[in-house]
Structure formats: structure tokens, C-alpha cells
């Protein structure tokens, strides 16, 4: 029974599983139930397992303890009698005895134990004094927060709190700033929104916004009624059938009624004509006619209670039939010269909203929520956001068909004066700015190579067909774009024509024949691009001149009264120095060429070696040309490689394949010496030493880091001894040298 108990405990604790095997647990419990002696035996077994330096073992052992604790009084007394040690082993109460690795399991163990201890305390704390003492110890001394599932040290908790506080402060500060910003910006946003809304209305009535139309309808009709009797019928009709238009009119002439009070009928007639003209406007806008009539009818149906008038007005036979009209909601508004101004406005507002307001409003909302401010500000910000988004959506739904916008900035280079040009401020030329980029550097600047200078001077008409037509075009387009470097260049080129002849002459001089062949031209250019640029020096300064003082060293005679060198040449000529002034050393190491070939020798696993060494692969020797399958192409290489293989095989005959030998040994029981070959054997080592508990996480594996391996080497006893010896020897030498001096002799 005892033997079985031991086995059970060992199996359960070394399984490495997060859960206990219920079958084995049941068996264990059955044994424990049978007698108290078994319980104390189990207790000792479990304590030994808890003492193991492996968190998984401890965790499993603790799980068994937890199971038994709730069942047996005897077990409880035993555990509690040694509760200090139990806590040390499971909750890390002693900082000098940290929980063993692996870390995650240790954390989990700690958490579970703390939770269990609390449960135990609730259930048995009254009866077992030491249990409650331990619980209070954890709670008060170790500051374990039993509510907080994460086991944190008080220091960590405090740190976190401080961080939180700091963050809160920052957020609050930011929120305050945002609030201020919002206060400043809200008026602007409101204005923009209104503007946009108005623009939309101008462009197109909202088909679903009847009420608004009605509300605005009323005053208009009143007004028109006030105005004059003759016009009233017309305006009445207008009101009935074209609320949107009226609204339009209303917007354009907000105080028309006041103005018109004293206006003569003829003027009013004019106005009506105007109105009629405007009536045509919606058609120009490309508003769907069906939709338009729908708006008309519904508006009329609502505003006009009198069905008779309704019937009469619409020329309908009777009131008996219904009229169904499909309203297509997808609208397109086309831009034309009539609504350009409105659409421009819309574009501006849209841009403003999209680029400025929406992002800032979003950031405000984020800030407010993060700072935990939940009051008026947040509500207003959300309000704004909704409004802005609605406006954006509306804009999208409008499907405004913009005309191609001509970018006015492009005209800067032209002579036409534009409003936009006012925005460009004359900027002094930047220091170090190269107004003319030399040909060979043009690539660096991301520019196309210059067209031949000659062609430039002669004018574009005589331009050789160097660049294709298309590229020329793109180039021109680029030049039109003011943000592109090409455009600036063009501008400069136009402005500084005097630089060009110089360039021209420079390029023309070396080739007097002025061959128009593009080949030689390009080659020349390439060569020039290749030529190194060297800094300006003395040698260039005196290029071609003869210096009288070159290489002469002047020596001044000593100014001393008595002491003077007897003979001295005042002037020494030094050839080397003279040479130095005229020459210059330029080291030209050549250019780095990356290796393009690979070793491509066949590796044992069948793949080809991927190393890219220049001359020699450290594994496969000299790099030789090889075919697809990695075999050498040259016959002599092939022979050499064969030879090498033979030599290798001679070292280790085929029949002594270590694995095969091991099998033979296992079968016959005779040592054939397979161990000789398995020094570097792939599986030999692991096979020989089977781990005791294969299910547990291998701690050695985890501890086997490069650092630990290095440590093993560096702090190994022999190495230390060697180092100490060497250092001692060095000391000794010093001592030998100064041995006769007392202060060195002592230490």
C-alpha cells in the first residue's frame, strides 16, 4: 500500500499537467481514507515534492494538498503544524527562497495558493489558530491583496498607482487644453457647418426634409401676400410647387420683402422674370426630374389642405387615383458655371472639415474619454462629431461632379498674374543652393539627364530626338508642378540663361567635331558621371603656373646673442615639398562588387550550399563551377572531390555506420566500438540518458543559454586557475624587478 502511495504521488506530481489525473487522484484518496497513517505518509511525501526545485512539481503537489486539505482533519493539522514552511515553499514568503522555475507556473502556483488559503481561512480559520495567523501574516505583513488576483508586491502596486496618477494628470491637463481649443473652434465649426448646409440646400433640396421647407414656406407666402396682390398668385403657385426654389430665393435675397415694399409693379414683374429664370436653374444642375416633381407634389400635398385646389392646380382629373413615383436617392450634381461659386465654397468647407475639424474633434473626444471627463464638453464634442460626419456623408451622397480644377499655382512660371501669386513671397536664394545642377549629378537630384546643351542653346526646334516624345511630355508636366524639383529647375534655367553658354562651351570644347551622334554623347556623359569629384586644393589653384617659392624652406638664423649655429643655409630647396604642391595623391580602391555566385556544393541533406564566399567556402573548400545538382563541371575538380570522398570513407568504413553498429550491439551484446563514432552523434547522447520525468518542463534546457554556457567556460576552475597564475606571474615579474626596493618587496 505504501509503495503504491509513493508511486501515485510521484506519478501525479511529475505529470507536468496543469490538472491532476482524476483516476489516480481517486485512488489516492481512497487509500488516504483508509487510515490515518497513510495520511501522514502522504503528507511527508507531498512535503518532499513541495521541496523539489521545480515549479510544476510543486504545483501538482499543491493541488493534491488542496484536495486532501478539505477532506481530512488529520491532514489539515499536519499541514498547519508546518504552515510556515508550506507558505515559504508555495507563496515565496521568504525572499531568500524564491520559487523555482519555470516562471509562469510559479506565478500560477502563487496565485492558486493564495486563493486556496483564503478559502481555507474562511472555512477552517476559526478552528485552526495557525491557519488564521498565517492568513493574517500574508494579509498584513506580505500585503497580499486577496481580492486582487494578481499577486503583486506593494512596491509594484505603488509604482503602478503613481504611474496612473501621473497619466491622469497629464490627461486632465490635455483635456483642459482641448476644452479651451474647442471653445475657440466651436464657432468656426458651427459657421462652416452652416455654410455647408446652406450650400447643399442651394445646390439641391433635401428630399426628405419637408418640415424645414414648410417652416420656411410660411413666411415667404406671407411676405408675398404682403407685397402685392398681383404677384401673390404667382408666388402662391411658386410656393406650392417649388418650395426649394423659394427657399433658394429666400437665401439669396433674405430681406426681399422689406426691399420690395415700395417697389413699383414693373420691378416686381422684373423680379418674377428673374425668378422664372432661376426656375430653370435646377434643370441645369442636373437634378433628377422625377425627384424634383416628387418634391413638388409632396410639398403641395402637405401645404395645401384644399384638395380641390390641389386637383385643379395639378391638372388632375379626379382625386381617385394615386400616383407612385420612384425617388432615386443617388444624386449627381454637376458643376457648371452657375454653381461654381457654391461648389467652390463646398469644396473649401469640405476640406476644412476633413482636414481640420474632424481630426481635432476626434482627438478631443479621445482626450475627454481618456481623462474620464464625462460632462458637457464630451457631449458637445460628440455632437460636433456627429454633425460633421453627417455633413461629410451628405457631401458624399451629393456626388458632386467636379470640373477639372486648374491648379492656379502652375501659372507661376507664366506671365499671367494671378491672385495666387500674391501668396508667394520672394525668398532670398538659399545658401549653398546650386542653381545649376551639373549633368553628372542630376541623377542624384532625381532629375532626368539634361538634354544636350547645344540643343538648348539653339532652341527647342533643333532638338535632336534624344528623349522620346512621351518622356518629354511627362517632363513638361513635371515642370508644371511647382512642388517638383524640375519646375524649379526650369524656372531657374529661364532666369539664368547666362549660365548656359558657359556650360555649353565646357561641353563643346573637348569635342570640336560636334558630332551629333547621340551614342558618343551619352557615352561622354556616362564617363563624366563616373569621374570622381575631388575637392579643390592648392594643386588646382596653381594649375599650370610656375611657383617661384615652391618647395623652398626658409630657415631663420637664430636670434640669440651668443649662441648661434655656425653654418646655416637660409634657404633650402626641397624637391619633395615642391612636388607636393603640384601633385595630389588619390587613392582609388575600386568599387565593391557583391559576390553573385554561390558555393553550391552538395550538403548531406541534399540541399546545395548557399554560402556566398568570394574565393573559398569554409566548409567545402575552393569555389568551383558546379552544375544544377551541385556536381563540379570541370573534370579535374570532379576527380579531386572523388578522392576526398574516398579518403573520408576510409576513415569510417561503410559497415561501421554508428547507428547500425549500435543496433548490432544491442542485439548481440558485444561491444563493437560504436561509441567511438558517436562522439558527435545526433541522437546518441539523448538516447543514452533518458530523463527521469519526461513530462516535466526541462529546466536544464531552459537554463542552457549562451550566457550559462559561457559562464561554464569562463568560470571553470581550470580556467580561473590559469588566469590567476598568469596574473600572479605578471605580478611576480614586477616584484623581481624591484625586489631590492622595500616598498615593492612587501606586496
Residues contributing to the site for another protein (CB under 8 A)? 25-30, 32-33, 70-74, 81-82, 84, 87, 93, 123-124, 126-130, 133-134, 136-137, 140-141
Minimum distance of another protein from residue 126's CB (angstroms): 7
Buried b (16+ CB within 10 A) or exposed e, 60-80: bbbbbbbbbbeebebbbebbb
Rounded to whole angstroms, what are the CA distances from 474 to 445, 448, 477, 480? 17, 11, 5, 10
Instruction: Please tell me the distance from the alpha carbon of residue 91 to that of residue 50, in angstroms, as a whole number.
Output: 11
Cα 481 from chain centroid (whole Å): 30
Give the number of other CB atoms < 10 A from CB of residue 175.
Answer: 21
Nearer to another protein, 39 or 377 (CB): 39
Minimum distance of another protein from residue 661's CB (angstroms): 51
Nearer to another protein, 134 or 207 (CB): 134
Helix or strand run (H / E) with residue 552: strand 552-554
Nearer to another protein, 127 or 269 (CB): 127
Q: How many helices (H) and strands (E) does the chain have?
A: 34, 6
Helix or strand run (H / E) with residue 573: strand 571-573
DSSP 621: E
Nearer to another protein, 121 or 450 (CB): 121
Nearer to another protein, 91 or 601 (CB): 91
Minimum distance of another protein from residue 45's CB (angstroms): 17
- The residues, any chain, with a CB within 8 Å of residue 678's CB and separated by 6 or more, are 658, 662, 684, 685
Q: How many residues in the chain?
A: 747
Closest CA to 367 of 377, 376, 357, 352: 377
Rounded to whole angstroms, what are the CA distances from 82 to 43, 97, 147, 373? 11, 16, 25, 52
What is residue 245's three-state secondary structure?
Answer: helix
Beta pairing class for 616-617 and 571-573: unpaired
Nearer to another protein, 137 or 693 (CB): 137
Minimum distance of another protein from residue 133's CB (angstroms): 6
Nearer to another protein, 9 or 377 (CB): 9
Minimum distance of another protein from residue 26's CB (angstroms): 5
Closest CA to 237 of 310, 181, 138: 310
Minimum distance of another protein from residue 745's CB (angstroms): 29
Instruction: Please tell me the distance from the alpha carbon of residue 421 to that of residue 708, in angstroms, as a whole number.
Output: 71
Partnered with residue 573 across adjacent β-strands are 552
**Residue holding cell 481618456?**
370
Nearer to another protein, 5 or 409 (CB): 5
Partnered with residue 334 across adjacent β-strands are 401
Nearer to another protein, 140 or 324 (CB): 140
Minimum distance of another protein from residue 60's CB (angstroms): 17
Minimum distance of another protein from residue 125's CB (angstroms): 8
Instruction: Please tell me the distance from the alpha carbon of residue 248 to that of residue 477, in angstroms, as a whole number.
Output: 41
What is residue 145's three-state secondary structure?
Answer: coil
What is residue 616's three-state secondary structure?
Answer: strand
Instruction: Please tell me the distance from the alpha carbon of residue 125 to that of residue 403, in angstroms, as a whole number.
Output: 84
Q: Which three cell numbers stand for residue 315?
A: 391638372
**Residue 606, by phi and psi: left (phi above 0), alpha (psi -120 to 50) or beta?**
left
DSSP 467: S
Minimum distance of another protein from residue 9's CB (angstroms): 15
Minimum distance of another protein from residue 159's CB (angstroms): 22
Closest CA to 188 of 361, 389, 393: 361
Nearer to another protein, 134 or 632 (CB): 134
Minimum distance of another protein from residue 149's CB (angstroms): 23
Instruction: Please tell me the distance from the alpha carbon of residue 239 to that of residue 221, in angstroms, as a whole number.
Output: 7
Minimum distance of another protein from residue 3's CB (angstroms): 19
Nearer to another protein, 81 or 307 (CB): 81
Extended beta strands in 287-387, E state: 333-334
What is residue 626's three-state secondary structure?
Answer: strand
**Residue holding cell 558657359?**
502
Minimum distance of another protein from residue 58's CB (angstroms): 19
Q: Which three cell numbers stand for residue 535?
A: 575637392
Nearer to another protein, 94 or 642 (CB): 94
Minimum distance of another protein from residue 33's CB (angstroms): 5
DSSP 381-417: HHHHHHHHHHHHHHHHHHTEEPPPPPPGGGGGGSS--
Nearer to another protein, 45 or 249 (CB): 45
Q: Which three cell numbers stand for residue 55?
A: 515549479
Minimum distance of another protein from residue 157's CB (angstroms): 18
Closest CA to 114 of 78, 77, 75, 86: 86
Nearer to another protein, 131 or 349 (CB): 131
Terminal CA-to-CA distance of the chain, rounded, Å?
Answer: 69
Minimum distance of another protein from residue 694's CB (angstroms): 27
Nearer to another protein, 71 or 458 (CB): 71
Nearer to another protein, 139 or 493 (CB): 139
Q: Which three cell numbers stand for residue 224?
A: 408675398
Nearer to another protein, 110 or 620 (CB): 110
Closest CA to 295 of 239, 358, 244, 255: 244
Minimum distance of another protein from residue 47's CB (angstroms): 15
Amino acid at each position: 500500500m505504501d509503495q503504491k502511495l509513493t508511486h501515485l504521488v510521484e506519478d501525479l506530481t511529475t505529470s507536468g499537467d496543469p490538472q491532476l489525473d482524476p483516476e489516480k487522484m481517486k485512488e489516492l484518496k481512497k487509500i488516504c481514507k483508509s487510515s490515518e497513517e497513510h495520511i501522514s505518509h502522504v503528507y511527508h511525501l507531498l512535503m518532499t515534492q513541495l521541496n523539489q526545485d521545480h515549479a510544476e512539481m510543486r504545483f501538482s503537489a499543491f493541488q493534491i494538498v488542496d484536495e486532501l486539505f478539505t477532506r481530512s482533519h488529520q491532514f489539515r493539522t499536519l499541514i498547519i503544524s508546518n504552515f510556515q514552511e508550506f507558505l515559504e515553499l508555495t507563496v515565496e514568503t521568504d525572499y531568500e527562497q524564491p520559487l523555482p522555475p519555470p516562471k509562469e507556473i510559479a506565478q500560477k502556483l502563487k496565485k492558486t495558493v493564495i486563493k486556496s488559503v483564503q478559502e481555507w481561512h474562511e472555512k477552517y480559520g476559526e478552528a485552526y489558530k495557525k491557519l488564521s495567523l498565517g492568513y493574517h501574516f500574508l494579509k498584513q505583513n506580505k500585503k497580499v491583496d486577496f481580492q486582487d488576483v494578481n499577486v503583486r508586491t506593494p512596491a509594484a502596486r505603488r509604482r503602478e498607482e503613481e504611474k496612473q496618477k501621473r497619466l491622469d494628470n497629464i490627461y486632465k491637463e490635455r483635456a483642459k487644453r482641448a476644452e479651451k481649443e474647442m471653445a475657440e473652434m466651436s464657432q468656426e465649426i458651427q459657421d462652416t457647418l452652416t455654410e455647408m448646409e446652406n450650400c447643399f440646400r442651394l445646390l439641391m433640396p433635401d428630399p426628405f426634409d419637408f418640415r424645414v421647407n414648410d417652416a420656411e414656406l410660411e413666411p415667404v407666402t406671407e411676405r408675398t401676400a404682403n407685397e402685392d396682390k398681383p404677384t401673390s398668385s404667382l408666388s402662391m403657385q411658386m410656393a406650392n410647387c417649388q418650395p426649394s426654389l423659394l427657399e433658394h430665393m429666400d437665401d439669396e435675397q433674405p430681406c426681399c420683402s422689406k426691399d420690395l415694399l415700395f417697389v413699383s409693379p414693373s420691378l416686381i414683374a422684373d423680379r418674377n422674370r428673374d425668378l422664372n429664370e432661376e426656375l430653370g436653374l435646377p434643370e441645369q444642375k442636373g437634378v433628377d426630374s422625377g425627384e424634383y416633381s416628387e418634391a413638388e407634389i409632396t410639398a403641395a400635398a402637405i401645404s395645401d389642405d384644399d384638395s380641390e385646389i390641389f386637383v385643379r392646380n395639378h391638372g388632375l382629373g379626379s382625386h381617385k387615383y394615386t400616383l407612385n413615383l420612384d425617388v432615386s436617392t443617388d444624386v449627381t450634381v454637376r458643376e457648371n458655371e452657375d454653381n461654381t461659386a457654391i461648389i467652390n465654397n463646398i469644396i473649401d468647407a469640405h476640406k476644412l472639415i476633413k482636414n481640420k475639424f474632424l481630426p481635432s474633434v476626434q482627438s478631443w473626444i479621445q482626450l475627454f474619454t481618456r481623462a474620464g471627463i464625462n460632462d458637457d464638453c464630451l457631449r458637445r464634442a460628440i455632437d460636433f462629431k456627429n454633425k460633421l460626419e453627417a455633413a461629410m456623408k451628405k457631401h458624399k451622397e451629393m456626388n458632386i461632379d467636379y470640373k477639372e480644377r486648374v491648379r492656379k499655382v502652375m501659372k507661376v512660371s507664366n506671365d499671367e498674374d494671378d491672385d495666387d501669386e500674391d501668396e508667394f513671397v520672394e525668398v532670398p536664394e538659399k545658401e549653398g543652393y546650386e542653381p545649376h545642377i551639373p549633368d553628372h549629378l542630376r541623377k542624384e537630384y532625381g532629375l532626368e539627364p539634361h538634354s544636350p546643351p547645344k540643343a538648348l542653346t539653339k532652341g527647342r526646334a533643333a532638338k535632336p530626338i534624344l528623349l522620346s516624345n512621351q518622356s518629354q511630355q511627362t517632363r513638361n508636366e513635371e515642370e508644371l508642378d511647382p512642388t517638383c524639383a524640375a519646375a524649379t529647375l526650369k524656372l531657374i534655367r529661364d532666369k539664368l540663361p547666362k549660365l548656359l553658354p558657359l556650360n555649353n562651351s565646357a561641353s563643346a570644347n573637348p569635342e570640336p567635331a560636334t558630332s551629333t551622334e547621340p551614342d558618343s554623347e551619352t557615352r561622354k556623359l556616362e564617363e563624366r558621371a563616373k569621374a570622381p569629384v575631388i575637392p579643390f586644393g592648392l594643386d588646382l589653384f596653381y594649375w599650370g603656373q610656375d611657383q617661384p617659392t615652391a618647395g623652398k624652406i626658409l630657415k631663420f638664423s637664430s636670434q640669440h646673442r651668443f649662441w648661434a649655429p655656425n653654418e646655416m643655409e637660409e634657404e633650402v630647396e626641397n624637391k619633395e615639398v615642391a612636388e607636393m604642391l603640384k601633385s595630389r595623391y588619390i587613392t582609388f580602391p575600386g568599387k565593391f562588387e557583391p559576390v553573385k555566385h554561390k558555393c553550391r556544393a552538395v550538403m548531406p541533406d541534399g540541399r546545395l550550399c548557399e554560402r556566398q564566399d568570394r574565393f573559398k567556402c569554409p566548409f567545402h573548400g575552393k569555389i568551383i563551377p558546379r552544375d544544377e545538382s551541385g556536381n563540379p563541371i570541370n573534370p579535374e575538380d570532379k576527380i579531386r572531390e572523388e578522392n576526398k570522398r574516398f579518403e573520408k570513407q576510409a576513415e569510417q568504413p561503410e559497415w561501421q555506420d554508428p547507428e547500425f553498429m549500435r543496433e548490432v550491439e544491442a542485439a548481440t551484446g558485444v561491444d563493437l566500438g560504436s561509441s567511438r563514432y558517436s562522439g558527435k552523434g545526433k541522437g546518441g547522447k539523448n538516447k543514452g540518458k533518458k530523463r527521469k520525468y519526461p513530462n516535466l518542463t526541462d529546466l536544464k534546457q531552459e537554463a542552457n543559454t549562451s550566457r550559462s554556457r559561457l559562464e561554464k567556460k569562463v568560470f571553470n576552475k581550470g580556467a580561473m586557475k590559469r588566469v590567476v597564475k598568469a596574473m600572479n606571474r605578471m605580478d611576480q615579474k614586477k616584484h623581481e624587478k624591484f625586489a631590492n626596493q622595500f616598498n615593492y618587496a612587501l606586496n
